[in-house]
Amino acid sequence: MSIEVRHAWKRFGTFTALAGVNLSVPSGRLTALLGPSGSGKTTLLRIIAGLESPDATSDPDSGKVLFHGEDVSNVPAGRRGVGFVFQHYALFRHLTVFENIAFGLSVRPRRERPTTRQIADRVNELLDLIQLSGLGGRYPDQLSGGQRQRVALARALAVQPRVLLLDEPFGALDARVRKDLRRWLRTLHERLHVTTVFVTHDQEEALELADEVVVMNQARVEQVGPPQEVYDRPASPFVIEFLGNVNRLERGRTAAKSVLYVRPHDIDIRREFAGEHAVPARVLHVFSAGNYGRVSLSRGDTGDTIEAEVPRQQLRELNLRDGDRVNLVFRHVRLFPAEGFREEDLPSEPSASRDAGSGI
């Protein structure tokens, strides 16, 4: 079941939540809406669900929501065939786990309602699917946070939705439980292939889980693509800065026109001379805990602080000390125009995947 949103606008008073957003989700995909708070991702999800309506515009096609080519813009939320999972579970505390999962089936109009036996079979099937067999008689407050979230997902799946929408589904859980549930949800999706859209502000979560990432910022879509493509080939300074740690270097040979970005793990530290494009630097501090050490350095010609990540074995071989003079080689960099300049103002040579000297 594919999803399409066309040129959606949404304002709340003077605040613009969506500014002409287009979205296309292929059938069977697991798609992440990723962005900071206030970027519009939850508003977009609620418009897909029918819980919010896009603003009317002079364009009759604007704001339309289509499921597999069918216009559902005027279809109420309860009849869109959507399963919706909230961040804080929204389970009925007075109902058992079994009753919570069965709720969407049991409240259907009589002519559409499955038999008691059919409902029981469906709930037991889902309890097995979410690995909670035998816990149907418990109440939500007798479960862990991770178990409650799985019950919420099972309740959404019970009605066999055409699409599954998840709003920060793991936001209320601790880091370890989040990781376990990510793996579980990915496995579940590969088994069911329900078209799924989930909202998150967690970059790692989006990159690990999704087939496709939609990066949002200030009510607009910044970039859409597979996780690796979005991470390796960011379309804007916002995307590269939002998707993990990155060094931002503004001064150098192209100071007036561009800003260079390089991620800490794309920096080689060498004690010996490393060619004319190597960047001289001085070690400020070494943090050696964990599988990767982090080295803070001061760039020799400008004084800019640079952070590098180095595997523990390599860090031991380098035997770095505060104050040591070293040379840095940048394996993969991105150049973006400085404020007030345009893409065509940059050097004509490609900037990505070049060693040090890419315009710095």
Q: Are residues 109 and 157 both part of a single domain?
A: yes
Q: Are residues 170 and 187 both part of a single domain?
A: yes
Q: Are residues 179 and 75 both part of a single domain?
A: yes
What's the rounded mean pLDDT across residues 6-11? 97
Where does residue 349 rank: exposed (0-12), middle (13-18), buried (19+ CB within 10 A)? exposed
Q: Are residues 226 and 292 both part of a single domain?
A: no
pLDDT in tens, 39-85: 999 999 999 999 999 998 888 889 999 999 999 999 999 899 999 99
**pLDDT of residue 192 exceeding 60:** yes
Q: Are residues 267 and 302 both part of a single domain?
A: yes
Q: How confident is residue 356, by pLDDT bands cut at 50, 70 and 90? A: very low
Find the helix or strand (DSSP H, E) in which 196 lies. Answer: strand 195-200
Q: Are residues 152 and 137 both part of a single domain?
A: yes
Name the residue range of residue 260's domain: 245-345
**Size of the chain in residues:** 360
Task: Name the least confident of 19-33, 79-93, 147-161, 307-321.
Answer: 79-93
Q: Which of 240, 255, 285 is the last residue of a domain?
A: 240
In a domain, 357, yes or no: no
333 φ, ψ (degrees, to nearest 5): -130, 160
More confident residue, 248 or 356: 248
Q: Are residues 236 and 260 both part of a single domain?
A: no
**pLDDT of residue 359 exceeding 50:** no
What's the rounded mean pLDDT across residues 309-315? 92
Q: Are residues 232 and 252 both part of a single domain?
A: no
**pLDDT of residue 328 exceeding 50:** yes
Report percent pLDDT > 90 for the chain: 69
The structural domain count of the chain equals: 2
Q: Which of 207, 240, 273 is the last residue of a domain?
A: 240
C-alpha distances in Å from residue 165, one per residue of 66, 108, 308, 352, 360: 15, 20, 38, 35, 44
What's the rounded mean pLDDT across residues 299-319? 91
Q: Are residues 101 and 60 both part of a single domain?
A: yes
Q: Which of 198, 215, 240 is the last residue of a domain?
A: 240
Q: Are residues 235 and 320 both part of a single domain?
A: no
What's the rounded mean pLDDT across residues 252-273? 83
In a domain, 353, yes or no: no
**pLDDT of residue 226 exceeding 60:** yes
**CATH (domain of 129):** 3.40.50.300
In a domain, 105, yes or no: yes
The pTM is what?
0.86
Q: How confident is residue 352, by pLDDT bands cut at 50, 70 and 90? A: very low
Which pair of tokens denotes residue 309?
A: 């990540």
pLDDT for residue 349: 42
Report percent pLDDT > 70 for the chain: 92
Q: Are residues 218 and 264 both part of a single domain?
A: no
More confident residue, 252 or 184: 184
Task: Name the least confident of 69-73, 126-130, 146-150, 348-352.
Answer: 348-352
- Across the chain, mean pLDDT equals 89
Query: Cβ neighbours of residue 29 under 8 Å, at least 6 residues apart?
Result: 195, 196, 211, 212
Q: Are residues 172 and 294 both part of a single domain?
A: no
In a domain, 176, yes or no: yes
In a domain, 163, yes or no: yes
pLDDT for residue 251: 56
pLDDT for residue 12: 96
**CATH (domain of 259):** 2.40.50.100
DSSP letters, 1-63, are --EEEEEEEEEETTEEEEEEEEEEE-TT-EEEEE--TTSSHHHHHHHHHTSS-PPP-S-TTTT
For residues 293 and 102, give the distance between their C-alpha atoms in angstroms, rounded to a whole number. Answer: 50
**pLDDT of residue 257 exceeding 90:** no
In a domain, 257, yes or no: yes
Which among 306, 279, 284 has a CA at the least distance from the CA of 360?
279
**pLDDT of residue 231 exceeding 60:** yes
In a domain, 354, yes or no: no
pLDDT for residue 289: 77
In a domain, 10, yes or no: yes
